Homo-oligomer: A and B are copies of this chain.
């Protein structure tokens, strides 16, 4: 479906490629302190690019960690709603370097089966997803003949997402007034497949717990005491074995009380997402079988249902050979992925209740559940904002809006902070693909996806202005 937006993107895609080529050469690895100057240079580059694009307000916001970039282009329209774009300009480390086919910070164009690709660290995660908004904004203005966007567009691009966004929530709270908005457009995700336009509609939350079980006051000789006193490792094994029941459900008391049940419509929509389970298992999952909570598909299990995973456990002797002890302590680390409307703050009591119910005599438990955690978030599938997003994506992919699929992100990120602090609903517009190898060697972006993403962004600003975003 031809449109002025598409025509502009097509005519100026070279600008997007040139921007990316320059930005991707900056190794803005936030996890490595040695790269702090590069993260700063990346922020400076982006600030300059936003100014070139025409944003009248562009600021670099220092934090206790890496700098974020803020920009704002107010709409001249009276009462225009405000959209805030979220992304990040830092990138993952590149180890193992020897597995890269091209140097990670020398962007390299490769012709692939689905079209031209650009290979580089950060190509899609997240520099590609952010850069497409530069071209998208220009296409929106050019196509609509406007001097200012139809909605006020704010942009917040942080520099620590790949390091866990340690200062992001504080930044949001500190700048809440400047960041006030009616909708957040998260551009750090992707779509189901090149020919399957889709929108993320939920992310899981996160809570973690560390458990220490104590038995004897000191490590005991198993010859003298073996078989006569409680062994904390046995207690830990029994406890962790009780974390799931025989149906794969988490046994924490009250764990499912606030879980919003999947509606038949949501399940039907998820079932429409193409998913090759065998390929998923053979590929990144690198696992032998799919498993999990009974009564749900794999896509539902990893995206729409809460889970509990033991991430680490240890205790006793772990060196070579054997040491005949009953150890004094055993330890485990567990994280829980949460879905709407679970609250991370509820987990402490739930974990304590579960441990207390499964603790054998003679064993004492220390349960540490850090305050905080990450809230789950979910978009309202029927909101006016979602309708605008589906229209924009549909136009860019030549599909009916009703054919744009919904996907769910199993991970947890700073997006929840945006909801918590700014109180605005989330939309997700990202041009990534499951095959883009983010966080791995040979990360890439499929350039046609990026062009469509830029076009969708251009449509989105127009569409958002046309729907009622604010309660009257």
Chain A contact residues, CB within 8 Å of chain B: 204, 206, 208, 210, 215-218, 220-231, 233-234, 236-244, 281, 284-293, 298, 301-302, 305-307, 309-318, 322-327, 330-331, 333, 335, 337, 360-364, 409-412
Contacts and interface: CB of A to CB of B under 8 A. Distances in A.
Contacts of A362: 287-289, 291
What 10 A-B pairs come out closest when comparing CB atoms?
A: A223-B411, A227-B307, A237-B240, A289-B362, A312-B316, A217-B286, A241-B241, A229-B287, A312-B317, A288-B362
A284 B223 CA distance: 13
Nearest to A289: B362
B313 A229 contact: no
A452 to B, nearest CB: 24
A216 B310 CA distance: 14
Contacts of A302: 224-228
Interface centre among A210, A290, A311, A410 (most CB of B within 10 A): A311
Contacts of A292: 227-229
A298 B226 CA distance: 10
Nearest to A298: B228
A290 B226 contact: no
A312 B233 contact: yes
A228 B291 contact: yes
Contacts of A223: 204, 206, 337, 409-412
Contacts of A231: 309-310
B410 A305 contact: no
Contact of A230 (B206, B287, B293): B287
Contacts of A288: 215, 230, 361-364
Contacts of A327: 311-312
A321 to B, nearest CB: 8
A366 to B, nearest CB: 15
19 contacts: A206-B223, A215-B288, A222-B335, A226-B302, A226-B335, A227-B410, A228-B292, A228-B302, A229-B289, A231-B310, A236-B313, A237-B239, A288-B363, A289-B361, A291-B360, A312-B318, A312-B327, A314-B315, A323-B333
A239 B204 CA distance: 29
